[in-house]
Structure 1
Amino acid sequence: MSKISNGLLASALITITLLSNMAFSQERDRRSPPRKLTAEQSRVAASNYQKYCALCHGENREGHKNDHAPSLRSKSLMESGIAHQILRPMQYGREGTAMGGYLNEVGGPMTLAETWNLTYWLFEQAGYDRLKFSTNPVLGDIKRGEKVFQEICASCHGKQGEGITGPALMNQSALAHNTDEFIRYAIQEGRQGTPMQAFKNTLSAADIDNITAFLRSKSMGLVEEKPVLRALPEPKDYIVNKHGDDPNFDLKDGMYVLSKDLNDALNAKKKMVLLDTRVTSVWQTAHIEGAIPFPYYADLDETVAGIPKDVQIVAYCSCPRAAADHTINRLRARGYTRTAVLWEGIFGWMHLGYPVRRGDIAGVND
């Protein structure tokens, strides 16, 4: 090929890139703000945030308080896609992560209106204008995107996108509800106030496209499910192995029981109470056999009814310990001294190969 042809080809590629970037920029017009909450709606939303969200996302929405939960005030997040990118994980959770579903339809504590209002409240608190993103695909070299992802992203997000110190990225629900441009913008701009840096000055625009295309390639095969909720246990069912002996755990730091010791005690039919301190929706999906739903945000005056003080209590969550620590500390302040927290959490428990009871949630065709 001649030097002239090479020059023409290079000019054409530059022109295409500039036009593409211009189109991307033009597409991101400012959107009109969402509906304004009433004073009462804002009050309830603020209360719900502190009750349900602050434990992991922080009292001031700063994120990474526990379980590497993302910031809910980062400029690049709050200007790019509210409401669905916040609403859907709040309502239905992220399967395979510590984020459970908070919508009452899946066993959570909030109504549909409350989840919408909390979403709008988060946007109002952040104080940013919304950007307009298209639903057009971002095209790129998937194989190249995988290579760059493993080099740049995997140390925080995991080789399989499962999340380590950064959020899970290859979660099917996340990929179903986040558009390509939403993903691309997050890579490009980062998440202000968090460890997620902006890559617009360190990666080429093409490689940002490539990573986006690679992540999108992992979204095939999503099957939406409707929950079929099982009945919650009654107080008469709270004690596991009612006629068994006390487990007499040797607690780590006076607080924690190891998965091996708990599993051995359950196999030996030891007497105890197991508290699943996660949002009830994830108890519905899977829990340790015999555990009762005891959400970290629950009113203790209501939930302790039927919980004896003279029986060993073991609480667990998926953080692996934040919600369970919070719950046990509250119980100890109430005089429940025979208490412990599962050290590895339920994810660690399952990864070690110990059994869980699957809930009655199943796919139901419309």
Structure 2
Amino acid sequence: MLMDGRVALALACGVWLSACPAASETESETESETGAEADTETGGQTPEERGAALYSSYCGFCHGDEGQGYAADNATALNNQEFLRLADEDFLAAAIRYGRPGTTMSAWGEVKAGPLSDDDIADLVAFIKSWQTVEDAEVDDYAIAPDSSTLRGETYYGVFGCEDCHGELGRGGPYVTLENPWFLTLASDGYLRESIVNGRPGTPMASYADGGMNDLTSAQLDDIIMLIRSWEREPNTDPIGPFVPEVSDAVLNPDGPDPGFELIDDRFIGVDAVKAALDQGAKLIILDARPHADFLDGHIEGAVSIPFFDLDTVIDELPQDVWIVNYCGCPHAVSGQSFDALQAAGFETIAVLDEGYYEWVERGYPVAIGG
């Protein structure tokens, strides 16, 4: 049997710890020194306190100041107790680190060229979990019935209105993208079942508990889960190296005319107006304010990647006599951060792309992939 280190030290002294002052004092001094070092490194803050500051910087503008959700583009309600009882620390950490590529949920981890270290992510998770007031759910051991049917699942998915919120094939709807590879890698069958049965009270996600006229039986639930699981594919875990914005070639059509934008509410410009300006060869900068991983997945053709949290490193290199159109996917939250920073620095010919990146894509306007 392995012996506790303190007991072993006491036995070496020939007495119990209470009668071995030298050992106790040495240990106490060591613990005190370690604690002092930790306090110096963290500023004396708890993980929840550090996480709260990070949340304010990177999350609140979409998920709400108190995790209530829907502050931007139907972002998830993180303080919802049904969500918190299902989403454990590993689920939350991976969601923050890798995001949901192809959606408005960006990858914030350093492994994907984001601003957050693993320690930062752990602190952020601790803060989010501090909202939880219910016990964790046991969901990992649930297995759907072996005779479940994807074909029947397709029928129920349509009949019970899942596609209205989540899209015909689990994507393209106004709410959570179910076919996202990172979501399906992290969400167990039990997680999916509990989410469907109990819903998310206080949000648009209704409960489909067995027993009501419009509710799902256990067999129907399993069929829908089998359908959702059929969309699973390997997520991209390839790291992205550290990114430093480069703005020397940021200006498009440097010899072109001024686009003469007329802003909406002194802030916004529509995608059609920007597309028309590009077609006319107007001189402007299109600034992608999202984390760089989003830019690599797809961006407006000709845009320059300047994540809003990196803008201060290059802001002095940007010309103030050229229109700068800031955009993101949410569609205003991140680009709004960029706009505000430019405005505070004295820039006047600036705008936020009103409908955001995904409307640009929907209209078939030119996009590019990669750096």
For 1:292, which of 292, 304, 307 is the aligned residue? Answer: 304
Structure 1 301/106 Cα, relative in aligned 2: closer, same or farther at 3 Å? closer
Q: Aligned partner of 2:226: which letter?
A: A
Question: Corresponding residue for 2:22?
Answer: none
Q: Distance in 2 between matches of 1:74 and 1:179?
A: 19
Q: Does 1:172 align with 2:172?
A: no
> What RMSD over aligned residues (CA atoms) do the two structures have, in Å?
2.4
Which of 62, 66, 73 is equivalent to 2:79?
73
**CA shift at 1:232, angstroms?**
3.8
Distance 1:178 1:77, change over 3 A: same
* Change over 3 Å in CA distance of 1:226–1:293 after alignment to 2: same
Question: How big is the shift at 1:249?
Answer: 2.2
Which residues of structure 2 form unaligned runs of 5+? 1-41
1:89 aligned residue: 95
255, 261, 267: which is aligned to 1:255? 267
User: Which letter does structure 2 place at the counterpart of 1:100?
Assistant: S
Describe the SS at the equivalent of 1:273.
strand
1:338 pairs with 2:349? yes
Q: Distance in 1 between matches of 2:90 and 2:169?
A: 24
1:259-298 mapped onto 2 (5 Å cutoff)? 259-296=271-308, 298=309
CA contact (8 A) 1:82 1:119 kept: no
Match of 2:256 among 244, 250, 256: 244
Return the letter of the residue paired with 2:307.
P
Answer whether contact 2:245 2:306 (CA < 8 A) is retained: no
Kindly name which structure, 1 or 2, has the bigger radius of gyration based on alpha carbons. 2
Deviation for aligned residue 1:146: 1.6
1-side partners of 2:56 and 2:159: how far apart? 37
2:245, 2:314 within 8 Å by CA — same for their partners in 1? no
Given the two structures, how large is their TM-score scaled by the length of structure 2?
0.79
Shift of 1:83: 1.8
Q: Using the alignment, how far apart are the partners of 1:195 and 1:257 within structure 2?
A: 30
Find the residue that maps to 2:82 and give its secondary structure: helix
Q: How many residues align?
A: 322
The CA deviation at 1:68 is 0.8
Counterpart check, 1:184 vs 2:198: no
SS of equivalent to 1:105: coil
Q: How many Å apart are 1:356 and its aligned residue?
A: 2.0
1:62-141 equivalences in 2 (<5 Å)? 62-139=68-145, 140-141=148-149
Q: Is the 8 A contact 1:55 1:66 kept in 2?
A: yes
Structure 2 Cα separation of the partners of residues 80 and 227 of structure 1? 28
CA deviation vs aligned residue, 1:288-318 (integer Å, no higher than 9, x gap): 233233334x276445222222211101111
**Number of the residue aligned with 1:206:** 219
Partner of 2:246: 234
Q: Secondary structure at the match of 1:106?
A: coil
Distance (whole Å) between structure 1 residues aligned to residue 370 and residue 318 of structure 2: 23
Kindly provide the amino acid, as one letter, of the partner of residue 92 in structure 1.
Y
Contact 1:238 1:306 in 2 (8 A): no
One-letter identity of the residue aligned with 2:169: Q
Residue 317 of structure 2 aligns to a residue in which SS? coil
Amino acid at match of 1:212: I
Aligned-partner Cα distance in 2 for 1:237–1:185: 50
Alpha carbons of structure 1 residues 168 and 226: separation in structure 2 relative to 1, 3 Å: same
Deviation sequence 1:115-155 (CA, Å, 0-9, x none) = 12212321122233222222453233322222121122122
Match of 1:162 among 165, 171, 178: 171
Q: What residue in structure 2 maps to residue 150 of structure 1? A: 158
Q: Give the aligned residue type for 2:93.
A: L
Match of 1:352 among 363, 366, 371: 363
Q: Which amino acid aligns with 2:108?
A: Y
Q: Which stretch of structure 1 is more off in the superposition, 253-262 or 109-118?
A: 253-262
* % same residue: 30
Query: Are positions 1:215 and 2:221 aligned together?
Result: no
Matched residue, 2:59: 53
Q: Residue 330 of structure 2 corresponds to which residue in structure 1?
A: 319
Structure number with greater CO (CA < 8 Å, separation at least 6) is: 1
> Partners of 2:325 and 2:235 in 1: how far apart?
34
Counterparts of 2:223 and 2:150 in 1: how far apart (Å)? 6
